[in-house]
Copies of this chain bind each other. A is one copy, B any other.
Amino acid sequence: MSEITLKGSLAKTAAIQLALVSPQQKNEALRSIANALIDNFEKILSANQLDINDAQANGISGTLLDRLRLDIGRIEDMAQGLIQISELSDPIGELVQTIDRPNGLHIRQIRVPLGVIGIIYEARPNVTVDAAGLCLKTGNAVILRGGKEALHTNKTLVEIINQALLDINFVPNTIQLIENPDRQIANEMMKANEYLDVLIPRGGAGLIQAVVENATVPVIETGVGNCHVYVEKSADQDMALAILVNAKVSRPSVCNAAESLLVDREIAREFLPKAYEALSLLKVELRGCDETIKILPAIQHAELEDWGREYLDLILSVKVVSGIDEAIQHIRTYGTKHSEAIVTKDETFAQRFLNEIDAAAVYVNASTRFTDGFEFGFGAEIGISTQKLHARGPMGLKELTSTKYIIRGNGQVR
């Protein structure tokens, strides 16, 4: 019996019980885990150090090493995140709609857990705790498959979580970790339709692509964002500059960061030098179209592939456009339907942009960086969906649920 088969069938049993657990019990479990993480911080840090040592021995450095590394502050953040989740209202059992039929059938649609959720992710061990908490809150059993770089840390975290759940007699096997680091087991997980109701990949474009291509389990695609800021000719240019800088620089490594600037020809000579000055100070490299280069001769030429790239870095592609039609056309061609912004004072253009741009989040006069479950006020986020089925944009608790129809009659037949 493979690890997937074993843990999958344990998760299915857990899911049946979890669907019936009260909000109070689930919130107690979340608090219990939060306390246990704090109480066991030294154990977590020791395990994490093993992963860090292995990573360094394997020549891993920079961002990846930083993502892997825990400290007491990060452990406190994880615990605090669980407390926050415990304070959110419970979506399970929520009445979605009531339909009373002429034949006397009384139909209610209510919110229920998805069942068993699989999460495949990469190096960041905080995803382990975060995803576990969100799944538990929504009454779902979860099977976690983290990156092999974080295996010591993840094993310790899940041990601590499970001890905390055992201490309060919570449903066993609610949270399980796949410990076999083979790539093969991830592939098996992607096809485990018998056990998993949904699979959520969290990580880079490569991981997400692999899951989308190989999974037979329904997938919620998260992530890739080639986001644009379009500065329309009527824009308040100070506002445009502030939005552009924020969208590019405030956190370049995330999916809602801007990767490309479009600017109307009419204001390009005025706006581009200001943008260049501000962004250069912040170490952003610009890559421009021919017209941009004429205005900013010091910057690099953008190659064709630049327009489609999610740099996740301090790089910005820049294109001069003739107006909103070209801007919309460019975004349609190269965008990833994540987050797109226009800066304008013209209500007609604002409305056209909102209507005609097909993306999870479309902004008028605000930074693309707001596409986020917390910024939207959901109080939690499991990821940002860039597909159109089930969930689109930031996914909070509700997006980790399904519904069922409950129908009461008094002998109706058809």
Q: How far is the CB of A51 from chain B (nearest CB, A)?
A: 31
Whether B243 and A413, one on each chain, are in contact in the complex, defined by CB atoms closer than 8 angstroms, is: yes
Best-buried of A216, A219, A350, A360 by chain B (most CB within 10 Å): A216
With a CB–CB cut-off of 8 A, which chain B residues contact A123? none
Residues of B within 8 A of A392 (CB): 402-405
Chain B residues with CB under 8 A of A369: 413-414
Cβ A387 vs Cβ B218 within 8 A = yes
Taking the full assembly, how many copies of this chain does it contain?
Answer: 2
Chain B neighbourhood of A283, CB < 8 A: none
B412/A370 in contact, CB under 8 A: yes
- A198, A219, A354, A405: which has the most chain B beta carbons within 10 Å? A405
Check A316 for interface membership: any CB of B closer than 8 A. Answer: no
Stretch of A107-115, A178-186, A296-304 with 4 or more beta carbons under 8 angstroms from chain B: A107-115
Q: How far is the CA of A358 from the CA of B406 in the complex (A)?
A: 10
Q: How far is the CA of A407 from the CA of B375 in the complex (A)?
A: 12
What is the distance, in angstroms, from A228's C-beta to the closest C-beta of chain B?
15
Whether a CB of chain B sits under 8 angstroms from the CB of A388 is yes
Which residues of chain B are within 8 angstroms of A413 by Cβ–Cβ distance?
A: 242-243, 245-247, 250, 366-367, 369
A363 within 8 A of B: yes
Asked if A411 contacts B239 (CB within 8 A), the reply is yes
Residues of B contacting A360 with CB < 8 Å?
Answer: 404-405
Mark A95-124 against chain B: 1 for CB-CB distance below 8 A, else 0.
000010100010101001011000000000
Alpha-carbon gap, A405 to B392, bound state (A): 8
Partner of A115, one of B109, B218, B358, B403: B358
How far is it, in angstroms, between the C-alpha of A393 and the C-alpha of B408 when the chains are bound?
Answer: 16
Interface of A is mostly: mixed
Q: Are A358 and B409 neighbours in the complex by a CB distance under 8 Å?
A: no
Contact flag A359-B407 (CB < 8 Å), given A198-B389, A413-B367: no
* Whole-angstrom distance between the Cβ of A100 and the nearest chain B Cβ: 9
A154 CB to closest chain B CB (Å) equals: 26
Chain A 325-364 against B: per-residue CB contact (8 Å), 1 yes, 0 no? 0000000100000000000000000100011101111111
With A and B bound together, what is the CA distance between A365 and B103 in angstroms?
A: 13
Contact of A388 (CB < 8 Å), options: B363, B402, B408, B412: B402
Q: List 24 A-B contacts (CB under 8 A).
A: A16-B358, A20-B356, A99-B376, A99-B377, A101-B376, A101-B377, A105-B366, A107-B376, A197-B388, A218-B218, A236-B411, A242-B413, A358-B404, A359-B404, A361-B404, A362-B405, A362-B406, A366-B407, A366-B412, A370-B407, A371-B405, A389-B402, A392-B403, A392-B405
Closest 8 CB pairs of A and B: A366-B409, A246-B413, A388-B402, A390-B390, A239-B411, A369-B414, A389-B390, A366-B412
